[in-house]
Structure 1
Amino acid sequence: MKKKVVLAFSGGLDTSFCCIYLAQDRGLEVHTVIVNTGGFSDEELNEIEKRAYVLGVASHAVVDETENYYNSCIKYLVFGNVLKNATYPLSVSAERVSQATAIANYVKKIGADYVAHGSTGAGNDQVRFDMIFNILIPNVEIITPIRDLKLSREAEIEYLHKHGVNYNAEKAKYSINKGLWGTSVGGKETLTSHDTLPEEAWPTQVTETAPRRLELSFEKGELTGINSEKLSPVKAIQKLQAIAQAYGIGRDIHVGDTIIGIKGRVGFEAAAPMIIIKAHHTLEKHTLTKWQLSWKEQLASFYGNWLHEGQFHDPIMRDIEAFLTSTQRTVTGNVFVELLPYRFQVIGIESPHDLMSSKFGSYGEMNNAWTGEDVKGFSKIFGNQVMIWHKVNSEQS
């Protein structure tokens, strides 16, 4: 009997090549699985399934991880206001650890001998997939045809044509990855340091230009409503994305340090993530103390970097998640946002936990909780040690 291999499958060029190669050149029984993290419609999933069977796979499965992806990962990226290099909401990084984990569980479920993925040898995904597989299914051998054979896209297309599979070269011009937390876009322009993606490369074209105001409702740090409509966090993200992406909001090109030590550029389209993180952070600035905000920023930066590098299963991540969850007890309220072409503006917030309360004074205008004499004494004591340092050292010079 042929040995089983589970192939992480997207229906794109690389994984289409892997289907044929694993069956024809390696003699394996190929079982494809696609992990939906909120980026596929039912029609798209049906088309991908048809493609898998046309390529001759023994079985094809869809694992829907959207809700689990949010609950185990995205939620904490919001709590931490995580933007890699102050720019990128980790759209692909977060998605890959969720997908790799689900694939490892599927390998266990069907008792496969091998697991395969279509990563090249030049990016982050190879490390994320390999590492998570090594952690969760250490006895299963990993096969990576594109990386091992060092194939160009042109060579892959030629191979498929030789095996009777047509693949549109123009379709392979841009690599697009869509998920709940944003869409990445890669092409020849992102391989340079100076060029930008053309308008037609962006998955969503700009169709809205009239300003629009939204009211975003948060409960303990999670987005749970838009314009007074109660929604689950996943549905709220999807609805906000549908509204805001038509303005061209959230488009950018991220330049980052890869796990393998080289610089990399990727375009991304992430209207909902960028608005949610900015709105959430604004609400936090009103409802948290300065030391809560300070420690959150430090721990969230580590959390985002460690997640980006695939280390999702390190127990320190659960510890940081517990801290982040604790900080969200009072992060409840509404945030008012205005959408405009290619940008948005946070107007303000309202919250029962707003620490900017007029009961205690208005900054620069009126104080209700202290006197001028209190400030005089406080200022003298607060700067006392620094005053002593300057006196002692000025006497020595």
Structure 2
Amino acid sequence: MADKINRVVLAFSGGLDTSVILKWLQQTYACEVVTFTADLGQGEELGPARHKAELMGVKPEHIFIDDLKEEFVGEYVFPMMRANALYEGLYLLGTSIARPLIAKRQVEIARQVGADAVSHGATGKGNDQVRFELGYYALAPDIKVLAPWREWDLNSRTALIDFAEKNQIPVPKDKRGESPFSTDANLLHTSSEGKVLEDPWEEVPDYVYSRTDDLVAAPDKPEEITIDFKAGDALAVNGEAMSPATLLAKLNELGKRHGIGRLDLVENRFVGMKSRGMYETPGGTIYHAAHRAIEQLTLDRGAAHLKDELMPRYAELVYNGFWFSPEREMLQAAIDHSQAKVEGTVRMKLYKGGVHITGRKSPHSLYSEKVVTFEDDAGAYDQRDAEGFIKLNALRLRLLGRRDGR
């Protein structure tokens, strides 16, 4: 027997899965459904989502379509980029970082409309169910969560289409055949997985790529750009000041043209299985390289190396859905403290899928030509000091060597 639910807020894309979920919730729980569609820069027309919700009986005042692009980049992507976060050394966490914002807004809407539950369309095999629900529970500890993929018996695309047709839910022609792969997109990236990508030995087909141009078709001449940073965040491209979302969109445009940001990855999901996905993160790949370059000038060795030690833990927390956890917030505080003097300009060339740093400068640079030069340093560094430094560091090694008769 289903729990009594009066009103539920559904994360709604307007696609086949969430349209079926909307009707299923109405039937199974005899409840009112409120739809929430987040515009995170996925590049899709969101009007059809409103139309679909209205068609299925959702009240106009209970259809929420929110432009969250600036909040997404400024409050989620940029803080993550300050950490140089890469999951398993490669993945820029494009899907992972979007989920806490969607969960947060769902909870806000639930409070606004007096809903007693929230719902999502994530399956029981993936990471997103964990990310959404950890977000819900962190922000609304007593909220009820409805996860239809873990409850219903509609376990195939055919079953979903049959349900849709019986309930007069429009099914696009391209959804009637077997889907070759699934995608998720936002302003940071596009991910593709499933079906044609499930065999890790098979090369990703060309038609899967949507955010990056083919390397063969990319320009034969490198393109030079600059990115300006202050307090660890980028604020201008080629000298033109931009908002966070506008800046990332500009880098996406540049990265797309040069085929930058493709990643074919076999990763370890939080739920325990390995999965193979193809990620396209053109602007994020450029941004990540530029941020590391400006840190090379402005971070002390100890701070830089500690950040690199903390990064895998931070990335894992984001990947696993613990954005609102105290440990992520503690790490964020340390990372943000390190960024106070991360300011300056990075110059780079974009060419055939590559991001090549060609220069960096900062008013807070710790780099000293006077100290590092191979020419006469005019007393800036006394090379004789190195002897005592080496002997002190060698002391324990010498003692070990004598004891062990080396």
Does 2:351 align with 1:344?
no
Q: CA deviation at 1:342?
A: 2.5
Match for residue 244 of structure 2 among 218, 233, 244: 233
Aligned counterparts, 1:12-27, within 5 A? 12-27=15-30
CA distance in 2, matches of 1:254, 1:74: 21
Which AA in structure 2 matches 1:179? N
Match for residue 126 of structure 2 among 116, 123, 127: 123
Q: CA deviation at 1:275?
A: 0.9
Does 2:183 align with 1:176?
yes
Question: 1:120, 1:146 within 8 Å by CA — same for their partners in 2?
Answer: yes
Question: 1:37, 1:99 within 8 Å by CA — same for their partners in 2?
Answer: no
CA distance in 2, matches of 1:266, 1:115: 28
Match for residue 165 of structure 2 among 161, 166, 170: 161
SS at match of 1:377: helix
CA distance in 1, matches of 2:130, 2:304: 32
In the alignment, which residue of structure 2 is the partner of 1:370? 381
Q: CA deviation at 1:366?
A: 5.3
TM-score using structure 2 length: 0.90
In the alignment, which residue of structure 2 is the partner of 1:45? 46
Question: 1:119, 1:147 within 8 Å by CA — same for their partners in 2?
Answer: no
Match for residue 267 of structure 1 among 268, 272, 278: 278
Which AA in structure 1 matches 2:49? I
Q: CA deviation at 1:239?
A: 1.1
Match for residue 257 of structure 2 among 246, 260, 267: 246
Question: 1:19, 1:57 within 8 Å by CA — same for their partners in 2?
Answer: no
In the alignment, which residue of structure 1 is the partner of 2:333? 322
Q: CA deviation at 1:284?
A: 0.9
Unaligned runs of 5+ in 2: none
Question: 1:211, 1:338 within 8 Å by CA — same for their partners in 2?
Answer: yes
In the alignment, which residue of structure 2 is the partner of 1:91? 94
In the alignment, which residue of structure 2 is the partner of 1:8? 11
- Once the two structures are superposed, what CA deviation does each residue of 1:338-377 show, in whole Å capped at 9, x if it has no partner? 1123332222212223333212232x55545222322222
- Once the two structures are superposed, what CA deviation does each residue of 1:127-153 show, in whole Å capped at 9, x if it has no partner? 112222223223332112223225222
Match for residue 156 of structure 2 among 146, 152, 159: 152
Comparing 381-390 with 318-327, which one deviates more in the overlay? 381-390
In the alignment, which residue of structure 1 is the partner of 2:233? 222
Unaligned runs of 5+ in 1: none
SS at match of 2:392: helix
Match for residue 112 of structure 1 among 87, 110, 115: 115
Question: 1:247, 1:339 within 8 Å by CA — same for their partners in 2?
Answer: yes
In the alignment, which residue of structure 2 is the partner of 1:31? 34
Number of aligned pairs? 392
Which AA in structure 1 matches 2:77? I
Question: 2:20, 2:169 within 8 Å by CA — same for their partners in 1?
Answer: no
Which AA in structure 1 matches 2:343? T
Q: CA RMSD in A?
A: 2.1
TM-score using structure 1 length: 0.92
